[in-house]
Amino acid sequence: MLLIADVPETDQPALQALLPEAILTSDPLTAETAPRYSAARAVCIFVSSCLSAEVMAQLPHLELIVTRSVGYDHIDLSAARARGITVCHIPEYGSYVIAEHVFALLLSLVRHIREGDTRVEAGQFAWQGLQGMALRGKTLGVVGTGNIGLQVCRIASLGFQMRVLAYDVSPQQEKSKAYHFTYAERLEELYPQCDVLSLHVPLLPATGHMINAQTLQQMKRGVILINTARGGLIDTPSLVAALRSGQVGGAGLDVLEHEANLAEERALIAFPQVITTPHIAFYADDSLHQLYEQSARLLHQWQHGQAPDYQVQGV
């Protein structure tokens, strides 16, 4: 059995056409749903599916996991390795789409788009009190210069004429020349200079809660924080406290630390200077087309006895 889970019903025809033999469901793959698919030999999932050791144990025939995402922190790699299960991800399916969403969030914040729209809808066509912040000449800090981070650097520098300062454990100096940005040697050097900080690193033990009370205090007062990567990069109570004190001037968040339990995020979401979207940065026409086609290609490779591309290292 080939299972494709966590696919909205509106998107299922596109995937079904690519993989006619697959079973599709809109449900994420969890401990509750996995027993229905115990015969599955390959599963294709999204980040809402948490493939823990417990879930994998309910899939005794599982040989392949394909996640329709760049990140794979929702998969227990140790459990997969112990079972000999191949894990693949999609490292590039339209990084510019996610980068564009970064600026959708940023512009909405600094130009008071939500407040302006609400005011006009209420019958008040008045600009007073909605002074925005220009992006030209401001400093954008980009943490992580993989495919998405690089696109953010490009748009900011060449498009908005921002000064872009980046940090990555593996700097891409040629790209920095092409896209007109520079690298900081240490995060501690980057934080105090940024008017805006955008996160583009995977969620790993080393990066979990990298934005916390200590690091927030290192930043310029009134900094704007953008996160389209993983919610666990930010310690929510610390961000709430920094918003209350004015240390953080605003936040644009496409991901949250507690997405499965929004009650824990209520204090954060309630701030008028916080804009949240429900993990839709990736969700656009071009990116979905590429995402589904690449996922199908990996599954076809496996079905024909070939080693699928984009295998996660160490699994």
Q: HSE-up of 213 (CA within 13 Å, CB side)? A: 5
DSSP calls for 160-185: S--EEEEE-SS--HHHHHHTT-EE-S
Measured CA to CA, the distance from residue 298 to residue 292 in angstroms comes to 10
Q: Do residues 176 and 227 lie in contact, with contact meaning Cβ atoms separated by under 8 Å?
A: no
**Which is catalytic among the residues 112, 230, 257, 265?**
230
Is 279 one of the annotated active-site residues of the chain? yes
Measured CA to CA, the distance from residue 54 to residue 295 in angstroms comes to 24
All residues at 6 or more sequence positions from 293 whose CB lies less than 8 Å from its CB, including other chains: 18
Measured CA to CA, the distance from residue 184 to residue 14 in angstroms comes to 43
**Which is catalytic among the residues 92, 259, 264, 293?**
259
Is 200 one of the annotated active-site residues of the chain? no
Is 100 one of the annotated active-site residues of the chain? no
Burial (Cβ within 10 Å: 0-12, 13-18, ≥19) of residue 212:
middle
Measured CA to CA, the distance from residue 313 to residue 104 in angstroms comes to 33
Closest among 55, 64, 61 to 28, alpha carbons compared? 55
Closest among 172, 107, 112 to 142, alpha carbons compared? 172
Rounded to 5 degrees, what angle do the CA atoms 112, 107, 120 make?
30
Three-state DSSP class for residue 10: helix
Q: Any alpha helices (H) in 111-221, and if so which ranges?
A: 113-121, 147-154, 173-178, 187-190, 213-217
**Which is catalytic among the residues 112, 154, 200, 279?**
279
Active site residues: 230, 259, 279
